[in-house]
Amino acid sequence: VRRSAKDEGHMYEVHPVAGDGRCLFRSVAIGMALRGSGGRDDVGTETARADALRNAAVDELERRRAEVEWFIEGDFEAYCTSMRRTRAWGGEPEILSLARVLGVRIEVFVDEEKPRETRRLRSIGVYGGGDDDVCDDDARDDAESVAVVFRGAGHYEALARCDE
């Protein structure tokens, strides 16, 4: 089931994602597939790509440890070990890493508090896209971007712009 939502100027199609611990990584994998072929991959391919993205994100965290360790709560090595587990939820550190590894901007939205029939999205961050880890608003419309919506409780779903 796909649903539509919009931010201030664009319509998005929401691609639901299972809450299996891979949701962030699967959402980014879906976004990349939609950018590439215009369609979603089969579930097995999505799962394999999500797992590969998870490992790439953790590899990037480890590679850049000196720059990012302060950003991780608790023991860095334990965090990375935990993040390699399939059911570990990804968050902002992994989004930053994925944006760098993939060379794309990742924009994160949340639903505004409105009835479902008038659902609106609000951007809460744009990651990647150059020397800075967080982009300014001018970078939002770049073709090299992936969008996800954060639903709370650690859950993400994929978004695809449908007004282009």
Q: For the residues of 33-94, what is the DSSP string, one character each?
A: HHHHTSSPPPHHHHHHHHHHHHHHHHHHHHHTHHHHGGGSSS-HHHHHHHHTSTTPPP-HHH
* Predicted local confidence at residue 138, as pLDDT: 46
State how far the Cα of 29 lies from the Cα of 8, in Å rounded to an integer.
25
pLDDT of amino acid 75? 96
Q: Which of 15, 23, 133, 135 is catalytic?
A: 23
Q: How far is CA 5 from CA 9, 100, 116, in A?
A: 11, 27, 9
**Residue 140's pLDDT is what?**
42
Residues of the chain with confidence (pLDDT) below 50: 1-4, 132, 134-141
SS3 assignment, position 145: strand
Which one of 20, 132, 141, 163 is the catalytic residue?
Answer: 20
Give the pLDDT of residue 36.
79
23 among known catalytic residues: yes
Confirm whether 162 is a catalytic residue.
no
Nearest to 52, CA basis, from 16, 105, 89, 101: 101
H/E stretch holding 70 reads none
Annotated active-site residue in 51, 80, 155, 162: 155
pLDDT of residue 144: 78
Percent of the chain with pLDDT over 90: 58
149 forms beta bridges with 109, 157
- What per-residue confidence (pLDDT) applies to 143? 57
Measured from the Cβ of residue 160, the count of other Cβ atoms closer than 10 Å reads 21
pLDDT the model gives residue 70 = 93
Tell me which H or E stretch contains 88: none
